[in-house]
Amino acid sequence: MNAALLKKWFQTLAPIGALSEGGVTRPAYSAEEDLMFRATADIARRIGLSVSEDCAGNMFISFPGREKEPCHLIGSHLDSVPGGGRFDGVAGVLAALLVMEKIRRNGEDLPVRAVAFRAEESSLYGLATAGSGVITGSVNIAHLKNARSLSGESLYDAMIRKGYTPGACRLEHALDFMELHIEQGRVLFEAKEPLGVVTAIAAPTRLKVTVLGRQDHSGATPMDLRKDALCAAADIILATEAAGRDEMRFATVATVGVANVVPNALNVVPGSVELRIDIRGIQRESIRRTVGKVQRAIEEIAASRGLSCATETISSMDPVTLAPSMIDSLAEAASGTGVPFRKMASGAGHDAMKVAPVVPTGMLFIPCDEGISHNSAENASLNDIALGAEVMLRSISLRSKHLSTADRSQPFSKL
């Protein structure tokens, strides 16, 4: 892999949306995201590749003349969270370009196409993986119209404003899909392993719990006469942690990330608390058990403290299992490089989970320093990106050998 070229590309993109305090802000369908797409298109053209855009603004990078051929698709996204890092998403797009650059330089005949998806992050419109979702059919026009920024603009209107026509196209000519991404957790960093082959992508179930106690004077209300909503909420938070710990061996996690205390005043016994609970896992049964344990604990805590709790499921998504054929070929390719790697689940969501129901999909993780991501301190190694690109190229070669000419002419997309 051409490490010097990768460094140059990374440095070209780094200043886009850069903040004086560090980090980058490249929101979905913003001027900064446009600049990222334009700069990436320029890089692709400079190495002799052709560039096209679909109805949602996702960018496809092809070998000239092979734009309509069934190809192995590789890529990720180019937007960022506010004050995010320079590797989240970008690493996967640059790795895809590295793969194509090497194939072109070596004059190999491998059908590969790179993709840069739009609007992967949910920070602005509250909807994640919009670009990949809309062309794989899991995000529809109603979802786009309901997803609104704080200024009130819908994601649908943002796409129209940019001249796109969401709903007018579908992902085409993809044999399979691979995404390289920074892990955004600490597993690989702690283990000092440069690669992870992702087996499944966790999905969140989210609950909103409203604890209704009684708001009272903190001085005049004896302890035995209280219905303290915050104390009940504290019990629920610990019960949620315990439920998550019970399911640790299945890689399920449970978190209370939001607690809104009313009235949140020093001299008042809290009258009500709203909690938001995020439960994620890769095994449906384990997620279901964890949600059940949390709900039973909430009922018991409410009953024992003599107050009421209302629980509402805000969202519930199914975990995504990645294609065994892709996991196997990535693992075989990684073994071939001789570097240590592991098979692991992804706790965070990615474009790959939107593509997985449509074509066989695989994912490769590289470590990020201390596991820090969605943060200006996010850092990863360009060498690991190059290594990941090498593994993806090897895995494509492995799969290409298995694909007969007849298979290649079949339209793979189920849409």
Interface with Zn ion by CB under 5 A: which residues? 88-89
Distances from the Cα of 383 to the Cα of 4, 68, 85, 195, angstroms: 10, 32, 17, 11
For Zn ion, the closer of residues 17 and 270 by Cβ is 17
For Zn ion, the closer of residues 44 and 128 by Cβ is 128
- Read out DSSP for 165-177? -TTS----SEEEE
Least spacing, CB of residue 195 vs Zn ion, in Å: 17
For Zn ion, the closer of residues 269 and 352 by Cβ is 352
Whole-number Å distance between alpha carbons of 218 and 226 = 9
Identity of the residue numbered 124: L
Least spacing, CB of residue 72 vs Zn ion, in Å: 21
Least spacing, CB of residue 351 vs Zn ion, in Å: 8
Whole-number Å distance between alpha carbons of 124 and 153 = 10
For Zn ion, the closer of residues 88 and 176 by Cβ is 88
Whole-number Å distance between alpha carbons of 293 and 177 = 37
Least spacing, CB of residue 186 vs Zn ion, in Å: 17
Least spacing, CB of residue 295 vs Zn ion, in Å: 31
Which helix (H) or strand (E) segment is 121 a member of? none
For Zn ion, the closer of residues 76 and 240 by Cβ is 76
* Cα dihedral: 345, 349, 354, 359 (round 10): -20
Q: How many helices (H) and strands (E) does the chain have?
A: 13, 15
For Zn ion, the closer of residues 88 and 378 by Cβ is 88
For Zn ion, the closer of residues 148 and 181 by Cβ is 181
Least spacing, CB of residue 181 vs Zn ion, in Å: 6
CA 276 to chain centre: 20
Least spacing, CB of residue 134 vs Zn ion, in Å: 17
Q: Which residue has the tokens 């903040």?
A: 19
Distances from the Cα of 5 to the Cα of 36, 62, 99, 218, 240, angstroms: 17, 18, 12, 65, 48
